[in-house]
Amino acid sequence: MSRSAAVGGAAIPRVVVLAGGVGGSRFALGVREALSRRAGAAAPESAASFTVVVNTGDDLWLSGVRLQPDVDSLLYALAGVNDTERGWGRAGDTERVNRELQAWGAGWPWFTLGDLDLGTHLARTGWLREGLTPSQVLERMSRRWPLGARLLPMTDAEVDTQVVLGDGTSMHFQEWWTRHRAALTPVWFEAPGIAAARPAPGVVEAIAAADVVLIAPSNPVVSVGPILAVPGIRDALRTTGAAVVGVSPVIGGRVVRGMADVCLTAIGVETSATAVAAHYGARSEAGLLDAWLIAEEDAESAADISRLGIRTVVAPLWMRDIPSSAALAEAALATAQL
Residues in contact with ligand GDP by the rule CB under 6 A: 19-24, 26, 70, 217-219, 223, 247-249, 251, 255-258, 260, 317-319
Of residues 99 through 138, those in contact with Ca ion by CB under 5 A are none
Of residues 20 through 59, those in contact with Ca ion by CB under 5 A are 20-21, 58
Q: Nearest Cα to 308, choosing from 336, 284, 337?
A: 284
User: Which C-beta is closer to Ca ion: that of 70 or that of 298?
Assistant: 70
Cβ neighbours for 86, distance < 8 A, ≥ 6 positions apart: none
SS3 label, residue 217: coil
Dihedral sign, Cα of residue 202, residue 207, residue 210, residue 215: positive
Work out how close the CB of 22 gets to ligand GDP at its nearest, in angstroms, rounded to a whole number: 3
From the list Ca ion, ligand GDP, none, partner contacted by residue 240 (C-beta under 5 to 8 A by kind): none
Work out how close the CB of 24 gets to Ca ion at its nearest, in angstroms, rounded to a whole number: 8
45, 59, 70, 261: which one contacts Ca ion (CB under 5 A)?
70
User: Which C-beta is closer to ligand GDP: that of 48 or that of 221?
Assistant: 221
CA distance readout (Å), 127 to 52, 97, 139, 160, 166: 22, 21, 12, 19, 38
User: Which C-beta is closer to ligand GDP: that of 238 or that of 257?
Assistant: 257
Work out how close the CB of 265 gets to ligand GDP at its nearest, in angstroms, rounded to a whole number: 13
From the list ligand GDP, Ca ion, none, partner contacted by residue 255 (C-beta under 5 to 8 A by kind): ligand GDP
Contact between residue 212 and residue 333 where contact means Cβ atoms under 8 Å apart: yes
User: Which C-beta is closer to ligand GDP: that of 48 or that of 264?
Assistant: 264
According to DSSP, residue 315 is labeled: -
What is the amino acid identity at position 308?
L
**Cα separation, 218 vs 325, whole angstroms:** 14
Work out how close the CB of 318 gets to ligand GDP at its nearest, in angstroms, rounded to a whole number: 5
User: Which C-beta is closer to ligand GDP: that of 108 or that of 318?
Assistant: 318
- Residue number, nearest CB to ligand GDP: 23
Contact between residue 332 and residue 289 where contact means Cβ atoms under 8 Å apart: no
Work out how close the CB of 334 gets to ligand GDP at its nearest, in angstroms, rounded to a whole number: 17
**Cα separation, 27 vs 255, whole angstroms:** 15
The β-bridge partners of 245 are: 214, 291
Cβ atoms < 10 Å from Cβ of 202: 16
Work out how close the CB of 219 gets to ligand GDP at its nearest, in angstroms, rounded to a whole number: 4
Work out how close the CB of 226 gets to Ca ion at its nearest, in angstroms, rounded to a whole number: 9
Residue 84: exposure state from Cβ atoms within 10 A (0-12, 13-18, ≥19)? exposed
What is the amino acid identity at position 248?
S
Interface with Ca ion (CB under 5 A): 20-21, 58, 70
